[in-house]
Structure 1
Amino acid sequence: MTIAVDKLSDPAVRRLLGAVNSGDRDAFFAALTDDATMSDDGSERDLADWVDREIFSSHGHIEVQTEKSGGRAVVADYRNDTWGEMRTAWRFTVAPDGRVSRFETGQA
């Protein structure tokens, strides 16, 4: 059973993942701090390059299966045109201003 993105517990994660599913790059970056960082499968990545390649140019979509840590850790089925569908884990760090300052993703 999936959890609708608009029902996720953490508002910052809700905004970020909602932007993924709506294909809204501007809203995605607005949900991040200016100095946000990320990693994929334990390797640091250039955030803008990764996001364009793995989400927006390849029509990424996320379906959350479970959430923990107040909504700041999720397991989800993620799919895009490049890799197809895979089970992924995501962890989010939220800054005091309510935006995501870091996310880490990888295969679950």
Structure 2
Amino acid sequence: MTIQTSRLSDPSVRAFVTAVNAHDREGFMKILAPGATMADDGTDRDLTDWIDREIFTSHGHLEVDNESNNGRDLLASYRNDTWGEMRTRWHFEVEDDGRISRFETGQA
């Protein structure tokens, strides 16, 4: 059973998922701290290239199944036009100002 995005515990993570699912690149970028980093399957990636390829040009969509660590760790079904649907895990590091400084994802 999925968790409605509006019910996600952490407001920064909720904004991240909302922006992904709305294909709102500008809103997505506002959630990230300056110099934010990310990793996919344990390998650091170029954030701008990755989000364009894996989220925005391929219509990425997250459906969260479970959250832990006060809402900063997610298990989710993620789908996009490139890879189809897969079980994924997400981890977020959030700064005091509420912006995400790092996120990590990969297959669950």
Aligning the two structures, in what range does the TM-score lie when normalised by the shorter sequence? over 0.9
5+ residue gaps, structure 2, are none
Aligned residue in 2 for 1:28: 28
Which residue in 2 is equivalent to 1:41? 41
Q: Which residue of the partner structure matches residue 71 of structure 1?
A: 71
C-alpha displacement at 1:31, in angstroms?
0.4
The size of the alignment, in residue pairs, is 108
Cα distance in structure 2, aligned partners of 1:31 and 1:71: 16
Distance 2:73 2:37 in 1: 16
Cα RMSD, aligned residues only: 0.4
Corresponding letter in the other structure for 1:66 = N
Q: Which residue of 2 aligns with 1:94?
A: 94
CA distance in 2, matches of 1:2, 1:17: 13
Displacement of 1:79: 0.0
Deviation, structure 1 residue 5:
1.1
Gaps of at least 5 residues in structure 1 are none
**Cα displacement string for residues 70-106 of structure 1 (whole angstroms, at most 9, x for unaligned residues):** 0000000000000000000000000011011100000
Q: Give the letter aligned to residue 44 of structure 2.
A: E
**What TM-score, normalized by structure 2, do the two folds share?**
0.99
Which contiguous aligned blocks of 4+ residues in structure 1 show a shift greater than 3 angstroms? none
Amino acid at match of 1:59: H
Mapped to 2, the partners of 1:51 and 1:27 lie a distance apart of: 13
Structure 1 counterpart of 2:61, one-letter code: H
Give the superposition deviation at 1:41.
0.1
Structure 1 vs Structure 2: percent identity of aligned residues? Answer: 62
